[in-house]
Every structure is written in C-alpha cells, then in structure tokens.
Structure 1
C-alpha cells in the first residue's frame, strides 16, 4: 500500500473567485502528491501542467488549505506515478483549459485532448488508476467535491495542513 495526498487550496485570482462562489465557497485549486515526496504536488494552472510546492502556495498567499490522504494499492500508485512521469516528460504538450472549467460549472461534458483544469486532472488520475471510486466523470469535478466525496472513503485520512 502507498499513500497519495490531495491538497485543496483557495486562491484569489479572478477564475478562482468565480469557482469559489459557484463551487461551494471553499477551495478553488486541487493538486496531488505521491508518498515519495510530500512537498511536491502536481496539478494544472494557467501555464499548463505544473509542479507545485508548499512554499509556492505560501508565496501566492494561500491562507486556506486541506490535505486529504488516501491509501491506495501498489497498482493504483504505479499508474498515477507513471501518468505523472509521462506528463513531466511531455510537459509542453499539455495545456490548461478555462473553457473546461466553465463547462464543468454548467454541467456540460467537455473533454479536449491534453487540456485539463486542476480538479479534472486530479479526478482523472484517481479514476483511471482505480485509486478511488468517483461518482462523476473527471470533467465534472471542482475542488470542493473532493473534500466531501473522498472524505467518505474508508481509506481516507483528513490531515490538517495549513500552507501558511
């Protein structure tokens, strides 16, 4: 068994403010970490595929965060790790999609090859690896949904983590 961590944070840029108001007034960004390095998170932001650190979140002024840790099988862990490695090696091929966020908010299915928003990326990793049973397709997830849905899993451990 391995552990992965889902970090939920709240940013204050314009798209995050929109997600905040529409998505349940909580978290506006999600990222994922492997148990090998709990200080390195992977996600998508306006620049595309992103490698993030807790220090980066501090510098960006994150004041609200939550860390959800999940125990996953060795097979699920390896699938997630392999997918992240593929994305790291082909970083320039991946893009952020604001349009995907708007489709998610409107509950419209939208999938464009190699285009992701943060919570879609995390949901896709969880879904495709069978690390967590998700109720919806990955393109229908906003960060707040992880807080409630993943917390209900028996393999979940909520950890208080402030990135301040």
Structure 2
C-alpha cells in the first residue's frame, strides 16, 4: 500500500473568490501529491498544468489548507504515477479551462481534450488509476465536492488542518 495526499487550499484570485462566494466558502483549489509529505503537488491553474509546493502556496498567501492522506494499492499508485508523468512530460500541451470550471459550477458535465481545471484533474487521476471510486464524472467536481466525498472514503487515513 502507498500513501498519496490530496491538498485543498483557498486561493484569493478573482475566479477563486467568485467560486468561494458562490459555493458558500470552503476551498477553491485542489492538488494531488504522490507522497504523504506533500512536498511536490500537481494540479492546474490559469497557466495550465502546474507543479506546486507548500512554499509556493505560502508565497501566494494561502492560509487555509487541508491535507487528506489516502492509502491506495500499489497498482493504483503505479497507474497514478504514470498518469501524472504523462502531464509532466507533455505539460505544454495541456491548458486550463475556465469554461469547464464554470460549467461544473452549473452542474453541466463538459470534457474538452487536453483542458482541465484543478479538481477535474485530481478527480480524473484518482478515477482512472482506480485509486478511489468517485460517484460523479470528474468534470463535475469542485474542490469542496472532492473534500466532502473523500471525507467518507475507506482509503482516508489522516487529515491535517492548515499545514500550509
């Protein structure tokens, strides 16, 4: 068994503030880390696929965060690593989709080739790797939806409040 970390944070850029207000608060960004220390995290932001760190979050002024540590099978971990490596190797091919995030907020599923928003990327990675069985399509997850669903996951092993 391997441990991965889902990192939820509250950013304060204009689109994040909009989603924060419209969704009743909570978290506005989610990242995936392939280790339990969450030293390196993967996600999407306005620039496309991104590699993040706790220090980067601190520099951006993130003060609200939540780490969900999940235990997954070795097979799921290997698939997840391969999935993430594909994004790392071809990061210039991937783009952020504001339209996808807005349609997600409206509960309209939308998949655009090579375009992702943060929670869609994390939900798709978890689903395709078989790491966690999610109830909805990846394109229908906002960060708080993932938080709420993972809170009841059998794979959840540890929760840390405000580690950033």
Query: Normalising by the residue count of structure 1, what TM-score does the alignment of the two structures yield?
Result: 0.96
Partner residue of 1:25? 25
Separation in structure 1 between the aligned mates of residue 81 and residue 6 of structure 2, nearest angstrom: 14
Q: Structure 1 residue 163: deviation in Å?
A: 4.2
SS of the aligned residue for 1:154 comes to: coil
- Structure 1, gaps ≥5 residues long: none
Query: Normalising by the residue count of structure 2, what TM-score does the alignment of the two structures yield?
Result: 0.96
- Structure 2, gaps ≥5 residues long: none
SS of the aligned residue for 1:108 comes to: coil
Separation in structure 1 between the aligned mates of residue 36 and residue 133 of structure 2, nearest angstrom: 23
Do residues 142 (structure 1) and 160 (structure 2) align?
no
Equivalent positions of 1:99-114 (< 5 A) are 99-114=99-114
SS of the aligned residue for 2:132 comes to: coil
Equivalent positions of 1:8-157 (< 5 A) are 8-35=8-35, 38-157=38-157
Separation in structure 2 between the aligned mates of residue 3 and residue 23 of structure 1, nearest angstrom: 30
Which segments of structure 1 move beyond 2 Å, counting only runs of 4 or more? 161-164
Separation in structure 1 between the aligned mates of residue 7 and residue 36 of structure 2, nearest angstrom: 15
Q: Over aligned residue pairs, what C-alpha RMSD do you find?
A: 1.3
Q: Structure 1 residue 159: deviation in Å?
A: 2.2
Contact residue 3 and residue 70 of structure 2 kept, 8 A: yes
Q: Structure 1 residue 37: deviation in Å?
A: 6.1
